[in-house]
């Protein structure tokens, strides 16, 4: 049987993918709830695209169980495909069609498409609606990719590096679009190297390294309390930089001021960002290769 009813939009159990001798995904378990925005984070080669492509039905798994909208993606038919939307890393859509023509064509393939003009407006391409795709800039073509991913009104949207090539204003506009899709109940799986984007958009995140999920949790809890503890940094009376991790940075600053009897030099209170926490997690997971890198740096110095 290839259809199972599950509460989760995506359910992954013991997923494994080997390319010859390379194990790209190693015993991965993950649930993504209906309506959730989930960010899959990890360094280059971690296994994100492989996992996502298995979920999209583009790639076959070596072993494990996968259910996407209640269907095994390896057996997903046209009906299932019409319920998912995909924005690939680079679709390379070029050619002679205009933005409107291309979107109308794709919209006609879906049972309940969005209004094409509304989609064009949502991705900020109104002024380019009648322009041929080949004449758009890289960032504008990327917006077309996003438009193609949402025109079919998907229940589940896969976004692979969606804002690569976007200017800062376009990224903000895109974030607004994703929030409105989320408000409509769309489930979203986002892979991104922009940690600020994940922090802005996702409810939960998973960090994958070496094909394994090394942490998963709410976006404001991932990494654990220790990794999130604020850091107070200052220079002591001898000019040496001092650093303390504390849950009470204000009290610590007050005690430093009292001890010095003056305003401390170089005072900073640093709250780790998602990027800091992510880098700590990935560094811990690959301490071996990180050490190799450090050695190289020393040899170069």
Ligand X SMILES: Nc1ncnc2c1ncn2[C@@H]1O[C@H](COP(=O)(O)OP(=O)(O)OP(=O)(O)O)[C@@H](O)[C@H]1O
Please state the closest distance from residue 191 (CB atom) to ligand X, in A. Answer: 7
Q: What span, in angstroms and rounded, lies between the C-alpha atoms of 73 and 118?
A: 30
The dihedrals phi and psi of 19, each to the nearest 5 degrees, come to -105, 100
Phi first, then psi: give them for residue 159, nearest 5 degrees.
-120, 110
Most distant CA pair in the chain, distance = 74
Rg of the chain taking only CA atoms, in angstroms: 23
CB atoms inside a 10 Å sphere around CB 34 = 15
Region from 17-25, 78-86, 172-180, 253-261 binding ligand X, contact rule CB under 6 A: 17-25
Q: Which is nearer to ligand X, 19 or 293 (CB)?
A: 19
Pick 41 or 277: Cβ nearer ligand X = 41
Distances (CA, A) of 159 to 29, 85, 146: 20, 8, 8
**Binding mask of the shown chain, residues 24 to 53, with x at each position contacting ligand X by CB under 6 A:** x-----------------x-xxxxxxx---
Report the residue from 13, 22, 58, 259 that binds ligand X according to the rule CB under 6 A: 22
Q: How far is the CB of 19 from ligand X (least distance, A)?
A: 3
Q: How far apart are CA 172 and CA 176, in angstroms?
A: 6
Nearest residue (CB) to ligand X, 160 versus 253: 160
Closest CB 47 distance from ligand X, rounded Å? 4
Nearer Cβ to ligand X (124/149): 149
- Min dist CB 249 to ligand X, Å, is 34
State in angstroms the smallest separation of the CB of 43 from ligand X: 7
Helix (H, G, I), strand (E, B) or coil at 286: coil
* Beta carbons of 277 and 223 less than 8 angstroms apart: yes
- Smallest distance from ligand X to CB 25, Å: 7
In the complex with ligand X, which residue's Cβ is closer, 43 or 249? Answer: 43
Give the footprint of ligand X on residues 50-109 (CB under 6 A).
Answer: 50
| Comparison of 61 and 252: residue with beta carbon closer to ligand X | 61
> Could you give the CA distance from residue 24 to residue 36 in angstroms, rounded to a whole number?
25
DSSP 8-state assignment for residue 115: P
Site of interaction with ligand X (CB under 6 A): 19, 22, 24, 42, 44-50
């Amino acid at each position: 049987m290839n259809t199972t009813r599950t509460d989760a939009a995506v359910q992954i159990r013991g997923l494994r993918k080997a390319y010859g001798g390379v194990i790209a995904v190693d015993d991965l378990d993950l649930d993504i709830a209906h309506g959730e925005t989930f960010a899959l984070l990890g360094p280059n080669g971690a296994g994100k695209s492989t996992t996502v492509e298995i979920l999209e039905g583009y790639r076959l798994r070596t072993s494990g169980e996968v259910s996407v909208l209640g269907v095994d993606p390896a057996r997903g038919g046209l009906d299932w495909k019409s319920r998912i939307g995909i924005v690939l890393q680079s679709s390379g859509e070029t050619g002679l069609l205009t933005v409107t023509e291309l979107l109308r064509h794709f919209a006609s393939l879906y049972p309940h498409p969005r209004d094409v003009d509304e989609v064009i407006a949502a991705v900020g391409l109104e002024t380019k609606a009648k322009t041929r795709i080949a004449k758009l800039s890289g960032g504008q073509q990327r917006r077309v990719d996003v438009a193609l991913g949402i025109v079919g009104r998907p229940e589940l949207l896969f976004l692979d590096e969606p804002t690569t090539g976007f200017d800062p204003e376009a990224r903000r506009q895109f974030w607004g679009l994703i929030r409105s899709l989320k408000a409509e109940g769309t489930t979203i799986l986002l892979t991104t190297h922009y940690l600020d984007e994940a922090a802005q958009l996702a409810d939960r995140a998973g960090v994958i390294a070496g094909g394994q999920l090394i942490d998963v949790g709410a976006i404001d809890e991932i990494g654990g309390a220790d990794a999130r503890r604020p850091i107070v940094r200052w220079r002591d009376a001898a000019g040496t930089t001092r650093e303390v991790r504390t849950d009470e940075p204000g009290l610590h600053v007050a005690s430093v001021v009292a001890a010095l009897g003056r305003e401390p030099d170089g005072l900073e209170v640093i709250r780790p960002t998602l990027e800091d926490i992510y880098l700590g997690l990935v560094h811990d997971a690959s301490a071996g290769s990180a050490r190799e890198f450090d050695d190289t740096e020393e040899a170069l110095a």
